[in-house]
Copies of this chain bind each other. A is one copy, B any other.
């Protein structure tokens, strides 16, 4: 139609080309735009509003556990980055270096933070002296930079937004508890708020964070059968404390090293939402992070009374959810497509006949199911529908994961499962030897994602070498 602001054009089907489908949604749902800065993306208002909702929920959860927000500098002097040897080895190859300030070359080059362990440790050394100063439970919301060669919106970009928690504890036990507690916070956020089923696990030695004693992660399976590391939580022991000379005096007046954790999650979560819940009509948003939870579309809005009624409903519903009324002169067809593309969980249609009958139509995004509801019970019906969407998309994602999880006893079984059923999670036993881990990847394409905290005994022997197995490992091709 001539008066349409823009046409909602068809996007690539996810079955035809999943990567293109993903990029189409990022652009067509107005989440991002590309910029003149290679490898960096622009997060547009609709995408940023999702991020703000994610931030709001996580920030509240962190604060409830006693964490406080701080802000550290975005630059790390090279000498500071080098203080912990494993850490610098892990990050130096992928950082951006500032070498000039104003018109003068710097005497020491600064990297733009890829993560802030070293900055936090430098600060902790200043402010931790006594057991009374512990624990320190800090979190930071900021952007970080990692000089990636190939980039994709939300999943991998040279700059991304994230939060990084950094905590210091008197004992190893307390720090380990914190590591697992924060993994649980992420798990709860994914399972309940984002409606994405995840598996909690420990990373193998070869896959740990640079400088960590242990790395935990939650792993989600995307619609295409590839895995996505959704958030991580690390236990550092006292390695950084020793490297940065952070000490405290305990109750017996003894000098001790504190024990450390860090944990993080990023705008990558938006990628996880797209690839867990999206379909060929566009984005499908979990209600908790949907900037618009319900859109009201008046039908035959030029007819007397329709817009008045739509506005009344908007006022009523704004008390129970984030609601938008689209009374623009775009066609109804355009509006349907537009809000489906944007993943709005519930659509409310109201026209002259509905008004006569004191009812309206609610349509849930994920299954396009229509329900006629009485206007007398609208608030309850909408609240129920939002919960229905949350449960519905969780079940759908869980079903996808179930269909794409393969228990395998040999690398041949892995190969045939993947070639017959497509990419997915492989559950298989492992001897604990890094060589076998590498060989599984070489032979089958899937890498170890984690050792799930809830283990199953699938067999007695390693999927690769046949020697006695130590762990059940979750394997997959990962984003």
Residues of B within 8 A of A40 (CB): 73-75
Output the least CB separation between A334 and chain B (Å).
13
Residues of B within 8 A of A145 (CB): 74
CB distance A33 to B126 under 8 Å?
yes
How does the 8 Å CB contact mask read for A31-75 relative to B, with 1 for contact and 0 for none?
001011100111111001101100000000000000011111111
Any chain B CB within 8 A of the CB of A101? yes
CB distance A5 to B73 under 8 Å?
no
Any chain B CB within 8 A of the CB of A440? no
CB distance B70 to A42 under 8 Å?
yes
Q: How far is the CA of A110 from the CA of B123 in the complex (A)?
A: 29
Interface centre among A41, A123, A142 (most CB of B within 10 A): A123
Residues of B within 8 A of A135 (CB): none
How does the 8 Å CB contact mask read for A94-117 relative to B, with 1 for contact and 0 for none?
111111111100000110100000
CB distance B97 to A99 under 8 Å?
yes
Output the least CB separation between A72 and chain B (Å).
6
Residues of B within 8 A of A82 (CB): none
Query: Interface residue tally of chain A, by bracket?
Result: 35 or more
Q: A71: which of B48, B74, B119 is its contact (CB, 8 Å)?
A: B48
Considering the complex, which residues of chain A in the window 188-204 have a beta carbon less than 8 Å from any beta carbon of chain B? none
CB distance B33 to A127 under 8 Å?
yes
Output the least CB separation between A322 and chain B (Å).
12
Output the least CB separation between A456 and chain B (Å).
40
A100/B100 contact (C-beta < 8 A), A69-B45, A73-B35 known: no
Residues of B within 8 A of A75 (CB): 37, 40, 96, 159
A97/B96 contact (C-beta < 8 A), A36-B122, A41-B73, A126-B33 known: no
A sample of 25 inter-chain contacts (CB < 8 A) reads A36-B77, A36-B80, A37-B75, A37-B76, A37-B77, A42-B70, A42-B71, A42-B123, A43-B71, A45-B138, A48-B71, A49-B68, A52-B69, A71-B143, A71-B161, A74-B159, A93-B102, A93-B103, A94-B102, A96-B98, A96-B110, A98-B99, A101-B158, A112-B112, A142-B143
Residues of B within 8 A of A103 (CB): 93
Rank and list the top 4 A-B pairs by shortest CB-CB distance, nearest first.
A40-B73, A45-B68, A101-B147, A43-B71
Any chain B CB within 8 A of the CB of A132? yes
How does the 8 Å CB contact mask read for A132-145 relative to B, with 1 for contact and 0 for none?
10000010001101
Chain B residue at smallest Cβ distance from A4: B132
Output the least CB separation between A75 and chain B (Å).
5
